[in-house]
Amino acid sequence: MRYKVFGRHTGLRVSELVLGAGNFGTRWGHGAKPDEGRRIFDRYAEAGGNFIDTSDAYQFGESEELLGEYLQGRRDDFVLATKFTQSPTPKGGILVTGNSRKAMSISVEASLKRLKTDHIDLYWVHFPDGVTPAEEIVRGFDNLVRSGKVLYAGLSDFPAWRVARAATIAELRGSAPIAGLQVEHSLVERSTEQDLLPMGQALGLGIVAWSPLGGGMLTGKYRRGEQGRAEGLGGRVFQAENNAQRTAVLDELLAVAKDIGATPSQVAVAWVATKGSLPIIGPRSLEQLEDNLGAADLKLTAEQIARLDKASAPALAFPHGMLSGRELQQRMTGGKLDEFDHPALPIA
């Protein structure tokens, strides 16, 4: 396992694969029992992994509770990330859900107790609630960082314009920076590449990508009649093979995997890593973890990446389709497009 610095606003050193703990527990009716969760956790640590991602809502709080047990005696060996917004109970009231400072304050205290720790390394707002302004979120994060209960702050599943606004407010006010961005990204969900990923890279955010396997579709197991998340989580965060392009993507993925002697899962996770983010793997069994870990040793060639890029290329929304046109780019570079070296990172 190799390690990377998390974005450009921290010196935090994190492993290249993130362990998602959404499957730790069984309160959703689908997941890993405590003993299996511990085996997954221990094997991930043995492989060099140090970045754990969970949420107070995962398995209705059981994921955090189990992690609190697994981390005993080795808390400082891991970067622990969790989220708030939804409440750990489906009956959470109106004051403990959403992103207000009150909900943030109540949620962080409850997570600290479940996790059996005095601080959270990376605290995410799980989703935008549509009502809490960026100023309130930034101020709430700043207070938690100053108190020592949280070390770094991040936004998950936010539109790009809201992330950019929050990051700018934090920068101008000298508040704790927005350090991280969490998005869905896979060969069957590439819309994040149009605004979210370049924005995150330009602003120096550490980026983690959830569901790099498209909810399991990219393992190829659904073609074999298996179900997994298609039924186990009521179809949530599951990308079905429901159109011609997705069939073509899976066909190409299987072909690349066969060519290099890897599994489709490993190729899919490795492809996400080539786009500048840290893939979150979310195994439900030790067998799945072992498969996922193989992605860390896989180096896709430029030709293999190009094949997968071509098969999965999304339709570009405005203005990206217009701006990507070669004629316009030639005009903007005085006819020297092929001789012009573009910056390595997107420009904000």
C-alpha 99/C-alpha 108 separation (Å) is 12
Q: How far are the Cα atoms of 24, 51, 117, 296 from residue 76, in angstroms, in the given order?
A: 20, 11, 10, 23
Grouping H, G, I as helix, E, B as strand and the rest as coil, residue 88 is coil
Annotation marks residue 58 as catalytic: yes
Q: Are 214 and 189 in contact (CB under 8 A)?
A: yes
152: β partners: 122
Catalytic residue among 58, 70, 152, 222: 58
C-alpha 27/C-alpha 176 separation (Å) is 35
Q: Six-digit token pair at 50?
A: 């140090």
Q: How far are the Cα atoms of 168, 171, 202, 205, 226 from residue 348, in angstroms, in the given order?
A: 11, 14, 5, 12, 44
Backbone angles phi, psi at 278, to 5 degrees: -100, 115
Question: What residues are labeled active site?
Answer: 58
